[in-house]
Structure 1
Amino acid sequence: MIALANRMTHALLTRVAVPIGRRRTQARLAQGIPASLWGTTPILTLPLKARADRMLGLQSQSLVLQTYYIARDFDFNLERVIRWLERHAGGLIAPFERVLLAWAMWRYDVFHFFYDKGLTAPVTRYGVNPAELDLLRAAGKRVYLYAYGADVRRRAETLALGRWNFCAECPEPGRFCTCTPESAPIMAGMAERATCAVALGDMLAYVPDARNLHYWPIDLARVPPAPTSRLDGPLCIAHAPNHTHFKGSHYLEAAIIRLRAEGHAIEYVKVQGVPNAEVIRMFSEADLVADQFIGGAYGYTALEGMALGKPVMTYVRAPELVESVEECPLINVIPDTLEDALRWCIANRALLPAIGAQGAAYVRRWHSIDAVAERLGRLYEQTAGFPEATLKPIRNARAAVVAARLTIPQAEGWQHPYTVMKGDPAMLMGFTA
């Protein structure tokens, strides 16, 4: 039975799904009604990316095959199906995945995957199956690959980035990320097959010829500003690391201990492994949000903190890793400058609300769902080869976002000594790789 299922689903893909999928894509693009799929890694922002695509006129949905403790808002969540097959019919998982791929080829024209997995099982530990990519391209599909961190990060290249990096204090190399150099040719093979390989932040170091594009959208309706207003009492610092060794948490805690010993009143709140809503609540009550201090690129924690109107401390290795760097109010620090930066925040507490207000404006201007839609639209215009019927609504949507951005006011008096625009604080201190 299993052998027959394998033969039939192979034939379904190659003899039916590819030619029919190609014809359906050509027809939808000619009519200006393309459809896109975001999957399959259960990243929190997948549904938001699908919303961004819909702003451009695409019929877009998100699909995951498994979930973590965050499991909301995905259009298709097939975790129960996969678990049932694993328990009762493990030999049918591969045929099921081929049927799923055939369905997707019939239904969608643009595929967005992270580098660790597509709709079918990887050939190795990580990676979108090369056969899947070949079938999608044979069917005329546009395929875009994105990085989230662990799916691309290799230890040698990371350590070469400089004194401070995500591998500097990893307790167990090989457990959390791809790590090994053997993943490099796998990554190159995926990038060659894709319409475009995309990355951001420190992840640009691992993906061959990747396009630098910020693709973490934030739902501003979910994180309305809760600006810092207290100018007296203990300075409340909030920190929500997923893994403390990748964030430099102990450097923050050591700096707080030293500052408390000097007589400074500091309240420190740290949470781990809690629902995102609890993190947002904690950030809302804080005066300052601490992201990470060793990685060299800001992540979603920093965006959430800024959206809430909070000053955010993080480490950004280079100005080109942020959008519109002259507007970016992040407090850029490494472990060596963290204590001095905290001392500055305590001494200049009256300036923190302005820094927070600029953060809220910055996220609204550059990291909203609208802003990410505008960048995705530019990506499509430059790489997808869409016909005019599909391109026209994309151009119109982009123009509307750019016009709306001009109406979003920025804060005044927010500038501080630790801006990203001044460059890598590690290099400024003389650290090299």
Structure 2
Amino acid sequence: MRVLHLPVGRQMIEMCSALRQIGVDATSCHFRERSVPLKPDLCLHLERLNGEERKKRREEFLEEAIERYDVFHFHFGETFFKDRSDLAILKKHGKKLVVQHRGSDVRMLSVARTAGNPHVRVKEGERREERQIRRKLKILSAYIDHAIVADHELRSYIRGFYKKIHMLRQFVTLNKFEPSYPSERNRKPLIVHAPTNPYLKGTEYVQSAIDRLSRKGTPFEYRQIERMTHKEAIRCYREADIIIDQLLQGSFGVFSLEGMALGKPVVCHIRDDLRKTYPPGLPIVSADPDTCYDTLKRLVRNPKARRRIGMESRVYVEKYYDSRKLAEELKQIYLKLS
């Protein structure tokens, strides 16, 4: 089985590495060079070419890929060509296809609000308008029967489009994250927040809670991680006693998992209806804009709880998000493709 993953994503690279460890010939390909901590197996470097040259390179690579690969695993709903006309070609050649939706590529505010979350936000921009998202999903599902999502929050956006939706949790390569549990002796804990997108993360509510804690004279330190490489950021996370992810969405992503893998208590809004859909014992401390201050106050004042939750978090990631174990699940999905 020879599998090609494209066209972008750090998780995509993690998945291919894990698949190769269990004997699957998997290749990751970025279409453009990206400032990510992991490098893909291939990069087309389309950013170096003009319009006509980019079109020709995509066409050439499709021809090469048809000769080499059996399974095509697309991420973020993107394929070889922008109009996705390559899907008909791949189907004609009998290739097996699967698409993995990651988040902002399918999140629609009208759907998100049906869950009763008054704080939820989605990414903005023409490519993320709901009519564009639905149009894309219709085109993809006309040729691709199988889709993958990480959780039930994402499943809600693509329900009704694909014949089969597979649940596959995010991949964490555990040996990259040596745990560093919060000390019970630390009476001035370090709180870390890394807003890759402050609007979506609800960073203004985090800052409001931090300011309120400071005014109350609560002893703590606060660090907001911005404009750092992933390697530099991980060093900062290791020093943290509390990590704050997001307060609005209602589900968690890779940042929360990295914090948990490092043995940290993670604060992130988890919708009540979604919590029961995750593996049992999820140790994430849920908070929203209305409860963030009280949640942080409790954690700041309770070093034993910080350490206990941090240790539970590492065990949880080891049990349910180990990339090698999940690679076996992904291999079984490939075997089900028609």
TM-score, scaled to structure 2 = 0.91
For 1:273 and 1:322, how far apart are their aligned partners in 2? 35
Could you tell me which residue of structure 1 aligns to residue 4 of structure 2?
Answer: 37
* 1:123-162 alignment runs, 5 A limit: 123=83, 129=84, 131-161=85-115, 162=117
Percentage of pairs with the same residue:
25
| Equivalent residues of 1:155, 1:179 under 8 A apart | no
Q: CA deviation at 1:117?
A: 1.9
| Equivalent residues of 1:191, 1:207 under 8 A apart | no
Q: CA deviation at 1:139?
A: 1.5
Could you tell me which residue of structure 1 aligns to residue 261 of structure 2?
Answer: 307
**1:276 matched to 2:230:** yes
* 1:45-194 alignment runs, 5 A limit: 45-70=11-36, 72-79=38-45, 82-86=46-50, 90-120=51-81, 122-123=82-83, 129=84, 131-161=85-115, 162-167=117-122, 173-174=124-125, 178-194=128-144
Could you tell me which residue of structure 2 aligns to residue 399 of structure 1?
Answer: none
TM-score, scaled to structure 1 = 0.72
Runs of 4+ in 1 over 4 A off after TM superposition: 318-324
For 1:84 and 1:242, how far apart are their aligned partners in 2? 26
**1:260 matched to 2:214:** yes
1:98-117 superposed Cα distances (whole Å, 9 cap, x missing partner):
11001111111111112442
Q: Structure 1 residues 139, 376: closer, same or farther in 2, change over 3 A?
A: same
Residue 283 of structure 2 aligns to a residue in which SS?
coil
| Equivalent residues of 1:153, 1:179 under 8 A apart | no
| Equivalent residues of 2:209, 2:293 under 8 A apart | yes
| Equivalent residues of 2:37, 2:229 under 8 A apart | no
For 1:84 and 1:279, how far apart are their aligned partners in 2? 29
For 1:349 and 1:117, how far apart are their aligned partners in 2? 45
Q: Structure 1 residues 141, 204: closer, same or farther in 2, change over 3 A?
A: same
Structure 1 residue runs of 5 or longer lacking an equivalent are: 1-33, 124-128, 386-433
Q: Structure 1 residues 295, 314: closer, same or farther in 2, change over 3 A?
A: same
Report the structure number with the largest CA radius of gyration: 1
Structure 2 residue runs of 5 or longer lacking an equivalent are: none
For 1:373 and 1:318, how far apart are their aligned partners in 2? 29
For 1:62 and 1:53, how far apart are their aligned partners in 2? 11
* 1:326-337 alignment runs, 5 A limit: 326-337=280-291
For 1:214 and 1:51, how far apart are their aligned partners in 2? 16
For 1:320 and 1:375, how far apart are their aligned partners in 2? 22
**1:384 matched to 2:337:** yes
Aligned residue type for 1:186 = K
Does 131-140 or 99-108 show the bigger shift?
A: 131-140
Q: Structure 1 residues 92, 253: closer, same or farther in 2, change over 3 A?
A: closer
| Equivalent residues of 2:16, 2:27 under 8 A apart | yes
Q: CA deviation at 1:118?
A: 1.4
Could you tell me which residue of structure 2 aligns to residue 412 of structure 1?
Answer: none
Residue 335 of structure 1 aligns to a residue in which SS?
coil
For 1:213 and 1:55, how far apart are their aligned partners in 2? 21
Aligned residue type for 2:17 = R
1:23-56 superposed Cα distances (whole Å, 9 cap, x missing partner):
xxxxxxxxxxx10011102x11222111232244
Q: Structure 1 residues 302, 179: closer, same or farther in 2, change over 3 A?
A: same
For 2:149 and 2:61, how far apart are their aligned partners in 1? 27
| Equivalent residues of 1:56, 1:377 under 8 A apart | no
| Equivalent residues of 1:200, 1:321 under 8 A apart | no
